[in-house]
A and B are shown apart, each in its own frame.
Chain A
Amino acid sequence: MELPIAYALAGAILIVSGLGGVLLSEHILRKIMALNILGSGVFLLLVTFAYRSPDSPPDPVPHAMVLTGIVVAVSATALALSLARHLLPPSKTPEKFPPP
């Protein structure tokens, strides 16, 4: 049962890049994007380990975990972005939704 090595290596590189980005970035928005890249790398690695072969179905439990992980990641990202909005100076021209 061969591991799709291209995706496994890509997952590892994404994890390393994301981690480096989180630790070394200066702007908070870039840190948040790096965190998401880190998460995507972890998910890629998990799903690669769940893959079996083009004919047989993959292991569904890691898939369910990754699905949960994506939703949790977007919640954390939204909360982090909200905190960033309150921390950093707002723009001079505000974006507001047009009145209905």
Chain B
Amino acid sequence: MILGLFDFLLALALVGLAWRILATSDLFQGVILFIVFGLLMAVAWSRLQAFDIALAEAAIGAGLTGALLLHTLAGMEQAAVPSPASNPAAPRFVAKRILTNGILGLLTLIVGATLLRCIREIKRPELGVRELVMEELSAGGVSNPVTAVLLNFRAYDTLLEMAVLLVAVVGAWSLGPLPTSDPRPTATAPGRILLGLVRLLSPIILLVACYILWAGTGQPGGAFQAGAVLSAAGVLLVVTGVLAPPTLGPLYQRALLLTGLVTFLAVSLGVMLAGRDFLEYPPASSPQLILLIESALMVSIAITLLCLFVGGPRSAPDNSRD
């Protein structure tokens, strides 16, 4: 039964967590609550039978975004919300703030009212695109409908999505080295237990990532989830110092970054040489092509997410090993 007590409590927990995240004055607490929020969202996705999304949310939404936020928080000076700079009791200042907040609050309420109206009046067709997808699934090459939609029926979206990832990395890294005020070259070395754990976990994570990629053809899984899990291994290795953080200077690192997009483009344009349309896979070799593209995507996504976590090239004194 869909409207079970569990779902009601879960929805309540999600909303409550969101409020706490936005209302707390301690940013560190906010970030930790955000990670919990992501994990509860993963449970909500499972309840709504969106298992692919549940995997992706746990790995990317909760895991990687949480790591990004923690990393950024550690690199910034203030962990608490700063108080207003000017005299908060000055009447003109207070009036302006009340007016701004009032208008923005009103805007938000209008959005909320519109949403409630949409929820009440939405008509979801019994048949619809889902039936189309199920009919064409056998020609799609994979039996997981979400993978078929992502990599075949709407492959153009996924192609552009890879371009978006690339633009994000290029954008973040072209800002230059991250600013730090203290030029000390070393950080505390990790303890032996942590090092041992990371060395034990890394091959297991690699195995799990490859399995998720392979299983994505018939069960929930796929390239994005696998790439995110693989990037988690990369983050672990870099943070504990087992691996040097990528500098994107050597050619092979840039090649790894590009391999997903390039493979995807090669396949989508290559089929045109055989007389087909852009991105129109020949049905006989659809499964192999999809697996090939997904493997390249997994590698690229992992490197991209790792580079996004590292955040930028090392500043000059650290470039002793390049």
Chain A interface residues (CB < 8 Å from chain B) = 1-10, 12-21, 23-27, 29-30, 32-34, 36-37, 40, 43-45, 47-54, 57-61, 63-68, 70-79, 81-86, 88-100
Contact = CB atoms under 8 A, between A and B. Distances in A.
Contacts of B49: 51, 54, 57-58
B60 interface: yes
A96 B15 contact: no
A67 B56 contact: yes
10 contacts: A29-B73, A44-B44, A54-B2, A59-B129, A70-B53, A70-B56, A77-B65, A84-B72, A96-B185, A97-B238
B311 interface: yes
Interface string B104-147: 11011101100110010010101011100110000000000110
A90 B53 contact: no
A96 to B, nearest CB: 5
A78 B3 contact: no
B157 interface: yes
Contacts of A45: 115, 119
B186 A95 contact: no
Contacts of A77: 65, 68
A92 B8 CA distance: 45
Contacts of B77: 88-92
Interface residues of B, number: 113
A68 to B, nearest CB: 5
B60 A29 contact: no
B192 to A, nearest CB: 13
Given A20-B104, A23-B108, 18 more contacts: A1-B124, A10-B15, A16-B108, A16-B112, A20-B108, A23-B104, A24-B105, A27-B27, A30-B22, A34-B21, A51-B48, A59-B129, A66-B53, A78-B168, A79-B308, A86-B175, A94-B180, A96-B318
Contacts, number: 301
* Overall SS of chain A's interface: helix
A98 B189 contact: yes
A17 to B, nearest CB: 5
B201 interface: no
* Overall SS of chain B's interface: helix
Contacts of A90: 75-77, 178-181
B269 interface: no
Interface in B180-217: 180-182, 184-190
Interface in B215-268: 222, 224, 238-245
A48 to B, nearest CB: 6
Nearest to A34: B22
Nearest to A5: B3
B292 interface: no
B275 interface: no
Contact of A37 (B8, B11, B21, B122): B21
Contacts of B119: 3, 5, 8-9, 12, 45
A91 B22 contact: no
A61 B158 CA distance: 13
Task: Name, among A30, A51, A92, the residue most crowded by chain B CB atoms within 10 Å (CB to CB).
Answer: A30
Interface string B26-54: 01001100100110010011011110110
B6 to A, nearest CB: 10
A20 to B, nearest CB: 4
B277 interface: no
Contacts of B75: 85, 90-91, 94-95
Nearest to A21: B22
A76 B109 CA distance: 26
B309 to A, nearest CB: 8
B187 A14 contact: no
A86 B312 CA distance: 11
B172 interface: yes
